[in-house]
Amino acid sequence: MKWRKSSHSTSNGENCVELARITNGVATRDSTDPDGPKHAFNVAEMAALFEAIRQGDYDL
């Protein structure tokens, strides 16, 4: 599995999420804990998340 970190991530390694393609979806993990838990999302779940982000549902 090839993990990718956003180009917007800081070089100090804090608060970074990595993504990897999996069959029918995407896996995520904390880049500071590569052996820790991983979470899988199917294509529909990721699309819904990205749409909610675009609409500002997660603006802080």
pLDDT tens by residue, 16-32: 889 999 999 999 998 88
How high is the pLDDT of residue 13? Answer: 61
In a domain, 59, yes or no: no
User: What is the number of structural domains in the chain?
Assistant: 1
Hunting for tokens 């294509």 — which residue is that?
43
Q: How far apart are CA 13 and CA 31, in angstroms?
A: 7
Residue 60 is assigned to a structural domain of this protein:
no
Over residues 28-58, the pLDDT tens digits come to 998 888 899 999 999 999 999 989 999 999 9
Question: Is 41 domain-assigned?
Answer: yes
Question: What's the whole-model pTM score?
Answer: 0.72
Quick one: pLDDT at residue 16?
A: 83
In a domain, 22, yes or no: yes
Q: Does 14 reside within a domain?
A: yes
Note whether residue 24 is domain-resident. yes
Q: Is residue 47 part of a domain?
A: yes
Residue 9's domain spans which residues? 4-54
